């Protein structure tokens, strides 16, 4: 097996941490657990990251980079803007309702926790969620133009309302341990986009 470059090893640590932290949270995953899961000597972690906080920032940056590619594919895909918005929320429901940690939304899992711990990680979350809202807003505006979404409220307000609705539904899915809150969120989303 060939030796990984520094950039590859950083990415390997981030990839391992995504599933661990999506399941357990940021503070519950210690460095010892992370490096053991990654097969990296504990002392070498600090060769790749100055601190766990810097690592958290890199983890969130990576998450948003990957997630925004998915958002773009869904919101820029075929169909009316309304159909694309509904496809995005269908994707959200499908990926967040199960128990597997892979693909889970790190905004939902880590948002409140890391914003209280780190201003810098909070800034990454704010920037990343802002980028999601920008894309949702653009799709809502496209829906106003193609007539598939009723223009009853400013596009940004509707986009924020939808995103907040789904974040809340994601939390309630965790509490209820079933997908019922996503069904309710989808019904509300369909009414808001009518």
Ordered per-residue pLDDT tens for the chain, 194 residues: 456 788 889 999 999 999 899 888 899 999 999 999 999 887 889 999 999 999 999 999 999 999 999 999 999 999 999 999 999 999 999 988 876 666 678 888 888 888 888 999 999 999 999 999 999 999 999 999 999 999 999 999 999 999 999 999 999 998 888 889 999 999 999 999 98
Beta-carbon contacts of 153 under 8 Å, excluding residues fewer than 6 positions away, are 161
Q: CA-to-CA distance for 23 and 16, rounded, in angstroms? A: 12
Q: Return the domain boundaries, the chain.
A: 52-193
Q: How high is the pLDDT of residue 141?
A: 98
pLDDT in tens, 110-137: 888 888 889 999 999 999 999 999 999 9
**Does the model's pTM come out above 0.85?**
yes
The CATH code that applies to domain 52-193 is 1.10.357.10
Q: Where are the alpha helices (DSSP H) in the chain?
A: 6-24, 31-38, 45-48, 52-75, 81-96, 106-117, 119-146, 155-176, 180-193
Q: Are 189 and 171 in contact (CB under 8 A)?
A: no
């Amino acid at each position: 097996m060939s030796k990984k470059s520094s950039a590859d090893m950083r990415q390997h640590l981030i990839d391992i941490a995504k599933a661990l932290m999506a399941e357990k949270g940021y503070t519950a995953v210690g460095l010892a657990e992370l490096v053991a899961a990654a097969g990296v000597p504990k002392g070498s972690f600090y060769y790749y990251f100055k601190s766990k906080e810097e690592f958290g920032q890199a983890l969130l940056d990576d998450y948003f980079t990957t997630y925004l590619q998915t958002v773009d594919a869904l919101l820029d895909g075929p169909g009316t803007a309304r159909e694309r918005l509904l496809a995005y929320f269908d994707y959200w429901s499908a990926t967040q309702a199960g128990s597997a940690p892979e693909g889970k939304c790190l905004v939902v899992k880590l948002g409140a926790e890391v914003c209280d711990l780190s201003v810098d990680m909070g800034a990454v979350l704010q920037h990343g969620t802002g980028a999601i809202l920008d894309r949702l807003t653009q799709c809502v505006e496209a829906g106003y133009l193609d007539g598939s979404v009723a223009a009853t409220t400013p596009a940004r307000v509707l986009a924020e309302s939808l995103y907040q609705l789904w974040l809340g539904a994601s939390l309630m899915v965790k509490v209820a341990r079933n997908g019922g809150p996503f069904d309710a969120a989808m019904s509300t989303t369909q009414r808001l986009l009518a």
